[in-house]
Amino acid sequence: MKQSFEFATYEVVAPHVAKIMQNRPQARNAQNNRMTYDLNACFDLAAQDEDIKVVLLGGEGPHFSSGHDLRGFGPLTDPLVGTWQPSKEGGVHSRYSFEQEVFLGMCRRWRDIPKPTIAMVQGKCIAGGLMLAWVCDIIIASEDATFVDPVVAMGVCGVEFFNHPYELGIRKAKELLFTADVWDANEAHRLGMVNHVVPRDQLEAFTLAMAERIANKPSFALKMTKQAVNTAQNNMGQRETMDTTIALHHMCHAHNSEMEDRAVRRAGLPEKFREPKPAAAAE
């Protein structure tokens, strides 16, 4: 039986396999607060169901994800899942605490769910869309999939879940960030970011078949194996890298607020957490 939220769905699609779908195709699955908390509710359903061993993550429509909705994130009304209470003080405090809860905190939570997760990526996977794919243990891409992180071009040092060096290696991570080039699925596969590239019409069937093979393994062994591999990445400094980088990320936001009214300056931050425009820039 499919469970539907406003911008996400949850369905058990095979024995021991659940499928979570972003469901905002009219906006190319751009992430607002409602979608983020809907996805979190779906991940919680999978995590709390002992019968589920493997979780699939996809996006309805032609594109996996166009990233964060720069038109705004909408009200933040759900119970918080982390310990960072978004501050109403304004300035860096408000933005940093908001992004710790909604971006970095959510991604870390989903990455650490003790069940194998597989992303099914088609069409565009932009900026915040990379974060959704990267929290998954395995990524299957369709032949038409493309990947890009254009955030440096917006004046910020990459997306909040800064996994670039661990997905691509040091030099290719720098290239992706510095150039904001769009990479196709074959290049992502060559670099090891994507596990398999398949025809678009075979994306879900191929992913489901892999999930079913994985689901045949003992549940506890799968959980411990995921924990072991994630621990190896943790020991490479992933968490410390992200903690440092999100601080640098917010230094960039603060710089942009002082120097110019770039699009990312206030975009995505709920109204009650936004900094007021400087008097000189008021409309």
pLDDT by residue (tens digit) across 60-110?
Answer: 999 999 999 988 899 899 999 999 999 999 999 999 999 999 999 999 999
Please report the pLDDT score of residue 261 as a whole number.
Answer: 58
Please report the pLDDT score of residue 257 as a whole number.
Answer: 85
Low-confidence ranges of the chain (pLDDT < 70): 260-283
C-beta separation of 56 from 17 below 8 A: yes
φ and ψ of 143, to 5 deg: -60, -25
Residue 46 CA: distances (Å) to CA of 18, 54, 97, 118, 225: 7, 8, 27, 13, 18
Q: Which CATH number fits domain 3-200+218-277: 3.90.1200.10, 3.30.420.60, 3.90.226.10, 3.40.50.300?
A: 3.90.226.10
